[in-house]
Amino acid sequence: MATERKSIHGQWSSRMMFIMAATGSAVGLGNIWKFPYIAGENGGGTFVLIYLACIALIGVPIMMAEIMLGRRGKQSPINTMKTLAKEEGRNQNWVALGWMGVVAGFLILSYYSVIAGWAMAYVFRTASGVFTGATADGVNSIFSDLVSSPESLLAWHTIFMVMTMVVVSRGVKHGLEQAVRYLMPCLLVLLLLVVAYAMTTGYFMQGVNFLFTPGDITGEGVLIAMGHAFFTLSLGMGAIMVYGSYLPKDTSIAQASVFIALADTAVALLAGLAIFPIVFANGLEPGQGPGLIFKTLPIAFGHMEAGTLVGTAFFVLLVFAAWTSAISLIEPAVAWLVENKGMKRVHASVWIGGATWLMGLGTVFSFNLWADHTWSIPFLFKDYDFFETLDYLTANIMLPLGGLFIAIFAAWLMRESSSRDELATYNIVYKVWRFLVKFVTPVAVIIVFLKAINAI
């Protein structure tokens, strides 16, 4: 019986630890720069309201489904889908869904680690005062020097991967749980400190207005809100499924999913309230996308009072956000090696971490040695380098398809008695969830997918 199945990896000691871990997985670099930026550029408060609606209609239902599958299977995503397909009398090819999630997490971490390495490098650069009084050209030069040096990127990439491997190798109780127990509160404290500083700049209300004043939104903006609502919760990459496999039976999946979604959104909004007053106070341009972190904000930190301290805290915050996401990305593959190859977690972490590190070399070289090496991707109108190819393949193809198939399996192929037993929630809540994940969510994810591949 599924209810008697136990994870060989252990389980979370409490619902709060699971929520902290899953929130840590969802909160990453994208929350700090991407959400505030796209909200401000696509209708402000109108965008935020549409985004929250999309979270409710797309993000939370799929998250509930993914956690449910994970807790039902109590194994790595690959073995969970193999077990559940057999248990529900379905085709064994559904194991491919587990494989796609694990591979997506592996590929994402390979380049995510390199970008996280940039944040680590900036912690020390900011703390040393290198940005103090720096001009825009000076900051751009510092960034260019960093990414054009394969040795520097390789060193930071290596350090970050070792940090991630150490946490995962220690298991659920002593590794994952202990990491999020300290990292998540620290992340929140650092974020609130930067917000508190932003309130002293005299431009805090301008930042509030930038984020929350209702404005006109285009159809493109609605699609952006839908896409970000799906991607921000770490859905479709195996992380939430494997974290769900460590969830105690008496924990409400519905309540936990709503709490995680709210916490993830709150961090994104707080990031906007921290960043934009500082940007406006220094007369800088808020519409910089990724460059906002590494090219625009350092100028602000270099010219404001206590800028070295605030800037260092900000980049430490980025590292913590990246670290909590990274451990969730590597965990599914490590869990599979432990289950299928009989490896100890230490050895499995070294193998997967080493392979991820090796794959990350492609991203390291994409910014320097291989900068001129690109190739075309079908249906697109530009050439992509190695890093851009991995980013496109995972974010635009693998994750939407993973979310779609999770919804199909959970709502259409899994017996109602099985999903009712696992969700164990109020009848009305279950009916609303089943309707959303059966009819609304798949259509929404298909639209996100078509938009991502430029088909609409």
**Residue 380 pLDDT > 70, yes or no?**
no
**Does the pLDDT of residue 250 top 80, yes or no?**
yes
Give the confidence band of 379 by pLDDT, cuts at 50, 70, 90.
low
What is the C-alpha separation between 330 and 353, in angstroms, rounded? 7
User: In this prediction, what percent of the chain has a pLDDT beyond 70?
Assistant: 96
Task: Identify the CA nearest to 5 among candidates 68, 72, 77, 103.
Answer: 72
CATH number of the domain to which 273 belongs: 1.20.1740.10
Q: Of the spans 72-81, 265-274, 382-391, which averages the highest pLDDT?
A: 72-81
H helix runs in 129-252, sequence order: 136-147, 150-169, 171, 177-198, 204-212, 219-231, 239-244
Question: For position 28, what pLDDT does the model report?
Answer: 86
Number of domains in the chain: 1
The residues, ordered by sequence, that sit 6+ positions from 45 with a Cβ below 8 Å of its Cβ are 211, 212, 213, 214, 215
**Are the C-beta atoms of residues 35 and 321 closer than 8 Å to each other?**
no
| The predicted structure's pLDDT at residue 38 | 85
Those residues whose C-beta lies under 8 Å from the C-beta of residue 456, and which sit 6 or more positions away, are: 223, 447, 450
Average pLDDT across the chain, whole number: 91
pTM of the predicted structure, to 2 decimals? 0.93
Q: Are 315 and 300 in contact (CB under 8 A)?
A: no
Sign of the Cα pseudo-torsion (437, 439, 441, 443, in order): positive
DSSP letters, 13-36, are SSHHHHHHHHHHHH-SHHHHHHHH
**Least confident among 27-41, 68-82, 195-209, 226-240:** 27-41
CB neighbour list of residue 112: distance below 8 Å, 6 or more residues apart? 28, 29, 322, 325, 326, 329
- Res 333 pLDDT > 90: yes
**Band (10; pLDDT cuts 50, 70, 90):** very high
Confirm if 232 and 264 have CB atoms less than 8 A apart: yes
Domain membership of residue 354 as a residue range:
2-452
For 4-29, what is the mean pLDDT? 91
Q: How sure is the predictor about 2, in pLDDT bands with cuts at 50, 70 and 90?
A: very low
